[in-house]
Amino acid sequence: MALDEANHRLFIGCRRPAKVLVYDVSTGTQVASATIVGDTDDLFYDAVRKRLYVSGGEGFIDVLQQDEGNRFTRLAHVATAPGARTSLFAPDLNRLYLAVPHRGSQKAEIRVYETR
């Protein structure tokens, strides 16, 4: 889950189906939804850029851009690695950190993505 405090929006990542649900916390009403990467684990709201970053074990990071109102469109679908779903967004550093697990020939690592 992620929270946009200024606009009273709560974002909930769901695995089946792979969607993010957007709720107005003032009314408890669902105001939007969007398709996201499968096996989602972490999602973060970037208030400066009005974006959601979603990491999923399916092997991708989705970047959703908030358009007018409560509409979100996929800005990027970045390939990562299978099982890499745990992440941390550091807004002060403009970076998203992603933990990649050891699987077969894939070595464990922390990948760093800059947000712009």
- The confidence score (pLDDT) of residue 69 equals 81
Burial 97-109 (b: 16+ CB within 10 A, else e): ebbbeeeeeeeee
Task: Tell me how far apart the alpha carbons of residues 72 and 50 are, in angstroms, rounded to a whole number.
Answer: 10
- The domain defined by 2-83 folds into Thrombin, subunit H (2.40.10)
- pLDDT for 68 equals 85
Phi, psi of 12 (to 5 degrees): -125, 120
How high is the pLDDT of residue 112? 98
Give domain limits for the chain.
Answer: 2-83
CA 98 to chain centre: 11
- Find out whether 70 and 50 touch, Cβ atoms under 8 Å: no
Side chain identity at residue 74, one-letter code: R
List, for the chain, all residue ranges whose pLDDT scores fall below the cut of 50: none
